[in-house]
Structure 1
Amino acid sequence: MSLVDTPVLRTRFKTLSVIGDEGFRLFFPLSAVYAAVWPFLWVVIHGYDLPLVGAIPPSIWHVHEMIIGAFGAALLGFITTAIPEWTDTPRLRGKALYALAAIWTVARICGLAGTDGLLWTGAITDIVWTGFLAAYVLRVSIYKKNSRLTGFILWLAALWLCETATRYAFAIGNGEHAQLFSHLSGFIFLGLLGLALARITVPVTNDILDPSGATSPFRPHPGRLNLAPGIMAVAIAAELLGFSAEVTGFVFIAAGAAFLDRVAEAFVGRAFFRAEIAVLAGSSALAGTGLIAIGCARLGLPVMETTGLHVALMGGLGLGIIAVFCIAGLRHTGQPLIFSAETRIAIAMIVIAIAIRALPELGIVSELVGHHHAVAAIFWAGGFLLWLRVYWPAFADPATLNQHDC
């Protein structure tokens, strides 16, 4: 028996070693699986309920698990991969990454059931990993004397504080505060998205415009790089300070306009329509459109705020995350920055899922109302799982180690 099992075990340990070599290899697949599974279970299997739900409504658990759970794993992979690359510092690997993954997983097991019995376990683990990320980037910034990481430090610290507040609201059964801070966590992620897109879009666009790397034809206006995160911070502050719906409405419209400004800046001629650039611009477009819809709803226009939230968070964040998965998955495994046909289909499925989720609530294809959540969940899951099927072989291949191209 041992002679038969030994080669299998060796192969598995080798795969674990490769996957644990860098953050994106471990956390991007975890994020994709959880992003696919959670909405499908919640909508299709459980019918908008959770098996062990207590004082906190299932809808709030849904928001929390998508933001902190699915998108949180993507953030873990992005930060533990990008920060060492940007600062030329040793990266986390092996046991450190698997320990982080274990902490994240414990909280997700609690979230899948929505049980009050495991509330504190889930709370502590989520608070630990969100706090670790902020501390990790702060430590690297101090060590390298790199002030360019300040924005990420502030946003990550805000995420940690917001998650702490969310978990406290969960613990005392305060649904109103749990919903407020869960939504604020999503807005914080939009701030992080704005920072990340500012760093990612430049090398990607230049790679498309000049694959030789001899020139850098795309140079964005420096004063607009942090415009979207900056106004997003103002919107979050207005929410926390309890400003009126009219005031926050106008601020959200301004934040949305700042994201749309990034779309205009992304137009670099015919290359704009390349999937590698268009997916990043599409993320900004959906984030901006969703934020404007939230603002319009608060100003009394006939738009549901929940629709705007889904367009901004499911759309802007979801498309932004799949874009990072695709781009980093190629650049960090030594492959040319050219999306395959299957990759484009995966992205298209995510876009279709967002459209199906939002359009019926805007009076378009209204015949889908009543079924659109389930159909959207199926397309959404299909997009992330197809991405995983396409990229997993390269992620688990030892030949792709140390093939950075950032």
Structure 2
Amino acid sequence: MMLIHLDEPGTPDTRLPLLRLGFRPFYLLAALFAAVAMPWWLWQRFTGTYPGQGLNGMAWHAHEMIFGYVVAVIAGFLLTAVRNWTGAETPTGRALAGLCLLWLLPRLLLPFAPVVLTALADLLFLPILAWVIRTRLRAANNTRNRFIPRLLGALALLNLSFYLAHLGWLPLNEFTPMEAALMLIVTLEVVIGGRIIPSFTKNALPGITQRHTPALERHLPLLTATILLGNLLPLPAWLITSADALLALMHAYRVSGWGSWACRKSPLLWVLHGGYWCIPAGIALLALAPPDILPRLAGLHLLAIGATGGLTIAMLTRTALGHTGRPLRAGPLEHLAYLCIFLAAACRLLATLPVLSGAYQAEIWLAGLFWSGGFLLYLIKYVPILGSARVDGKAG
């Protein structure tokens, strides 16, 4: 294990600022990819034009939003958080650059090169990330977070299953592994969100009244994973609907005790609360799919755009500010970026409603434009922040 190495006080860090800590390059890459990938997907969707012999169309869109964008955010977050959790050095400099290139190469090749070729590169990233995280946690005897490498391993297996299904080597719908991956990502959000959202709220708003239910906190993550993954099994419709409805109520009860209304004037807080509120809302919409009240895509997109998009852009901003020594304050650009992500979720949700099917194309375009706009606003402010040294002179 490499411990954090700090030179004598005042000794400058000669590493390129962008490669001093994992959140810097991975957040930059994630935001850039999110901003560019959506127009690229819309162009493919509405022109029917595919650029090469690689992964394209709906399969590319679903895969790359999960295993491209979201995985990059997870990597940046974990490579930063694990250092705080364990006191161990995580990859920086050339090692960090190598990890970034390993993530980036499949993103560039997937639409153009043969799928088998790019899959080999893509399938390496998550196992290597899991190994990096596991070795640090194990050396520090950090048992609380040992589930994380296992979750990363499960995501890697689902990625492999997707490629095998896409190539026809596995008798499975290629979208099933990606839905399962989304469910595991939501479960990770449930765990991390439960740790940070109430504490961030309490720290920022002293005296706020919050409610915590220890039994619910202990069992909700496993229950969430079980029920959400159960949606993918051929179970009776009444059972899936009942389980989803109950799970949605439990999550709504949980987040209602965190003081969401008191956060309405603080963008850094309300974006976290808003993202988490999309979890019970998305699960409630999933409950309406088995009885054919709403299409399944309604719940999936609210979990993917509202919950995952909202919570990830919240961390893209908060981590970048806090770990570069800046005050935890969101300005007009961040506020507008947050609104764009939730407007994207709203437009994509409207596009799934049968009563508004006549405006489907316009709603899809609006959803894509809001999504890309949110991340472009992020990039305008945070490219200089991510690419420059900490303002307080500390390492990182």
TM range (shorter): 0.7 to 0.9
- Please list, as runs of the form range in 1=range in 2, the aligned pairs for 1:227-376 lying within 5 A after superposition: 227-239=219-231, 242-267=234-259, 270-271=262-263, 273-298=265-290, 300-362=291-353, 368-376=359-367
The structure that is helix-richer by fraction is: 1
Partner of 2:187: 191
Q: Which amino acid aligns with 1:79?
A: L
Looking at structure 1, the residues matched to 392 and 268 of structure 2 have their Cα atoms a distance apart, in angstroms, of 23
- Please list, as runs of the form range in 1=range in 2, the aligned pairs for 1:13-52 lying within 5 A after superposition: 17-44=16-43, 47=46, 49=48, 51-52=50-51
> Following TM superposition, by how much is the alpha carbon of 1:51 offset from its aligned partner in structure 2, in angstroms?
1.6
Partner of 1:8: none
Q: Which amino acid aligns with 1:131?
A: P
1:386 counterpart (369, 377, 391): 377
Q: What secondary structure, in the 3-state scheme, does the structure 2 residue paired with 1:398 have?
A: coil
Q: Which amino acid aligns with 1:154?
A: R
Residue 83 of structure 2 is aligned to residue 92 of structure 1: no
Q: Which amino acid aligns with 2:23?
A: F
Looking at structure 2, the residues matched to 349 and 24 of structure 1 have their Cα atoms a distance apart, in angstroms, of 22
Looking at structure 1, the residues matched to 52 and 254 of structure 2 have their Cα atoms a distance apart, in angstroms, of 40
Which stretch has the larger CA shift, 198-207 or 276-285? Answer: 198-207
Q: Work out which structure has the larger RCO, using CA pairs closer than 8 Å and 6 or more positions apart in sequence.
A: 2
Which stretch has the larger CA shift, 96-105 or 57-66? Answer: 57-66
> Following TM superposition, by how much is the alpha carbon of 1:337 offset from its aligned partner in structure 2, in angstroms?
1.6
Residue 79 of structure 2 is aligned to residue 80 of structure 1: yes
Gaps of 5+ in 2: 1-12
Q: Which amino acid aligns with 2:183?
A: F
Q: What secondary structure, in the 3-state scheme, does the structure 1 residue paired with 2:288 have?
A: helix
Q: What secondary structure, in the 3-state scheme, does the structure 1 residue paired with 2:29 have?
A: helix
1:164 counterpart (137, 146, 160): 160
Identity of aligned residues (%): 24
Q: Which amino acid aligns with 2:380?
A: R
Which stretch has the larger CA shift, 317-326 or 121-130? Answer: 121-130
Partner of 2:200: 204
Check 1:357–1:240 CA distance in 2 against 1; reply closer, same or farther (3 A cut): closer
Looking at structure 2, the residues matched to 402 and 68 of structure 1 have their Cα atoms a distance apart, in angstroms, of 34
Check 1:161–1:263 CA distance in 2 against 1; reply closer, same or farther (3 A cut): same
Residue 147 of structure 2 is aligned to residue 148 of structure 1: no
* TM-score, normalisation: structure 2: 0.87
* TM-score, normalisation: structure 1: 0.85
Q: Which amino acid aligns with 2:21?
A: E
> Following TM superposition, by how much is the alpha carbon of 1:240 offset from its aligned partner in structure 2, in angstroms?
6.0
Which stretch has the larger CA shift, 25-34 or 283-292? Answer: 283-292
> Following TM superposition, by how much is the alpha carbon of 1:263 offset from its aligned partner in structure 2, in angstroms?
2.3
Q: Which amino acid aligns with 1:153?
A: P
Looking at structure 1, the residues matched to 347 and 220 of structure 2 have their Cα atoms a distance apart, in angstroms, of 27
Check 1:349–1:83 CA distance in 2 against 1; reply closer, same or farther (3 A cut): same
Which stretch has the larger CA shift, 352-361 or 341-350? Answer: 352-361
C-alpha deviations, 1:303-328, integer Å up to 9, x for none? 11112111111211000100111111
> Following TM superposition, by how much is the alpha carbon of 1:259 offset from its aligned partner in structure 2, in angstroms?
3.1
Residue 175 of structure 2 is aligned to residue 179 of structure 1: yes
Partner of 1:65: 64
Gaps of 5+ in 1: 1-13
